Amino acid sequence: MITRRIGADVLWVRPWSLVMVPILAFLALVLGPSDLVRPASAMEEPRIEITIRDFSYVRTKMQPIRAGVPMVFVVHNEDSVRHGFISPLFPGLRVHGEGDGIAIFGKGIEGFHLDPGKTAAIRLTPDKQGKITFRCDLHPEVQGELYLLDVPVG
């Protein structure tokens, strides 16, 4: 610790604070406060990452998901053609899609189209456990499935 005397008072300054305060001030200026502080719910959102490669769905990252808990599908299209990502799960739920090169289609939201090299984040809250199927509406042979199981912990 470093001590400084200001008049009759003694001020204690920790050496790390001399370095961290300017760094945090710089980050706040460059990034803005919204990038420094994120809500806990956004950080804990379970995600499943799926890559479309060689006309097939490949699961590249999977976290446990539960019925009634918001989650996100992250779909990467590594092929050189446009692909669809549709599921019978989507029409009955509130679904939000975001990303470059995606298009929402169907009555309500039934699925997404992804251009080559693009990624989409599809946010939803599954309402029940069981099998989740998905497929490409442009290439019927491209299909996949996941199972949402409610497994007790503890």
Per-residue pLDDT reduced to its tens digit, 31-75: 554 444 444 444 568 899 999 999 999 988 888 888 888 999 899
| Residue 40: per-residue pLDDT | 46
Give the H/E segment covering residue 35.
helix 33-36
pLDDT confidence bin for 130, thresholds 50/70/90: confident
Per-residue pLDDT reduced to its tens digit, 77-91: 999 999 999 998 888
| Residue 34: per-residue pLDDT | 45
Contact 144, 133 (CB under 8 A): yes
Question: Looking up tokens 């760094």, which residue turns up?
Answer: 23
Residue 149 has pLDDT above 70, yes or no: yes
Task: Report CA torsion sign: 116, 119, 123, 127.
Answer: positive
Question: Among 17-26, 51-60, 129-138, which stretch is predicted with the lowest mean pLDDT?
Answer: 17-26
Query: How many other C-beta atoms are found inside a 10 Å radius of the C-beta of residue 17?
Result: 11
Per-residue pLDDT reduced to its tens digit, 104-120: 655 568 888 999 999 99
State the greatest distance between any 2 C-alpha atoms of the chain, in Å, as a whole number: 81
Domain ranges of the chain: 2-36, 40-148
At the topology level, CATH places domain 40-148 in Immunoglobulin-like (2.60.40)
Question: Looking up tokens 């001020």, which residue turns up?
Answer: 11
